[in-house]
Amino acid sequence: MFRRTLLASAFVFASSAAFAAPVTYTIDPGHTQTIFSWNHFGYSNPTANFDKIEGTLVYDAADPSQSSVDVTIAIDSINSHVKKFDEHLKSDDFFDAAKYPTATFKSTKVEKGGSDGTYKVTGDLTIHGVTKSVTIDAKLNASNVHPMTKAPAIGFDGSLSIKRSEFGIAKYVPNVSDEVSIRITTEAMGPKPAAAN
């Protein structure tokens, strides 16, 4: 009896440890958006987004400090829904996509936020060849088995603000705002479990 109880306890402990271990998720580009907005001469607050985003999320529910984010964005995938403006944004007036084809974010620290399911994700954001440390306010939307793929899945929303002039993109400041608000939503997929024998 004692032996069975000991074995059962060991099994529960091992299962819990395995469940709590960090899991690596691959970002699903079809369900991930980075949307940024700015103020235009005080009249409007346009938005644009990037259509090509790749990367990985490592999430450790038991110890968020072991989590991490590594994302790459293709600058030439910018989409303001105005083709002529997209070309201007890609030019050397702004992102200079020919010279700086990607933007990246690599986390350096992940901490719990002020409420359950929220996090402070600090990392190096590189845009236009300039790297600055920024902090994303992130919220966990869900972490479970995806009902369609039957694989582990995770979803987050995030937000931050930057000053574009700090990244060497200062055209038309201050008439077109220096401050840019960024909203992120992402869905990422983990590895499918091995098929049962």
Query: What is the full DSSP assignment across the chain?
Result: -HHHHHHHHHHHHHHHHHHHS-EEEEE-GGG-EEEEE--BTTTB--EEEES-EEEEEEE-SS-GGG-EEEEEEEGGGEE-S-HHHHHHHHSTTTT-TTT--EEEEEEEEEEE-SSTTEEEEEEEEEETTEEEEEEEEEEEEEEEE-TTT-SEEEEEEEEEEEEGGGGT--TTTTTB-SEEEEEEEEEEE-PPPPPP-
pLDDT in tens, 3-56: 444 334 433 333 333 345 899 999 999 999 999 999 999 999 999 999 999 999
Quick one: pLDDT at residue 20?
Answer: 55
- Amino acid at site 139: K
Q: What is the rounded distance in angstroms from the CA atom of residue 182 to the CA atom of residue 47?
A: 9
Whether the bond between 29 and the residue before it is cis, its omega within 30 degrees of 0, is no
Among residues 128, 138, 7, the alpha carbon closest in space to that of 67 is found at: 138
Q: What is the rounded distance in angstroms from the CA atom of residue 148 to the CA atom of residue 65?
A: 30
Answer yes or no: is pLDDT of 62 > 50: yes
Q: What is the rounded distance in angstroms from the CA atom of residue 143 to the CA atom of residue 145?
A: 7
pLDDT in tens, 78-132: 999 999 999 999 999 999 999 999 999 999 999 999 999 999 999 999 999 999 9
Quick one: pLDDT at residue 195?
Answer: 60
DSSP assignment of 85-102:
HHHHHHSTTTT-TTT--E
Could you tell me the two tokens for 69? Answer: 């984010």
Quick one: pLDDT at residue 3?
Answer: 45
pLDDT in tens, 142-191: 999 999 888 999 999 999 999 999 999 999 999 999 999 999 999 999 98
Site of tokens 């931050």: 160
What pTM, to 2 d.p., does this model score? 0.86
Answer yes or no: is pLDDT of 2 > 90: no
- Amino acid at site 136: I
Torsion angles phi and psi, residue 34, rounded to 5: -120, 110
